[in-house]
Amino acid sequence: QLLKIYGGVHEIGRTSITVYMEARSHNVYSGKQNLILSTNIKFVRIDEQGDHVPISERVKNKYKNKTIQKNES
């Protein structure tokens, strides 16, 4: 068995990015995958003083049409 980890940007807020992650067991003989874990991880951008910093428009534009939806399997 292998453990496969998938993820991608799920949502971009004003000062945060939420990443959806899932781990699946993968049977190398049958090709069957089983969902083991799924979660959202939120990263908040802060400066040296701990104050929130807005996500740049460059980053927002880069992921504008590339956000993923949760796989409900």
Kindly write down the DSSP assignment for every residue of 26-41, as one continuous string.
E-TTT--EEEEEEEEE
Residue 73: pLDDT above 50? no
Can you name the residues that pair with 2 across neighbouring β-strands?
26
- Segment 6-32 shows an average pLDDT of 95
List pLDDT tens digits, range 39-71.
Answer: 999 999 999 999 999 999 999 998 887 777 665
Euclidean distance between CA atoms 9 and 60, whole angstroms? 11
* pTM: predicted TM-score of the whole model, two decimal places: 0.77
pLDDT in the model for residue 15: 97
Residue 72: pLDDT above 70? no
- Segment 16-45 shows an average pLDDT of 96
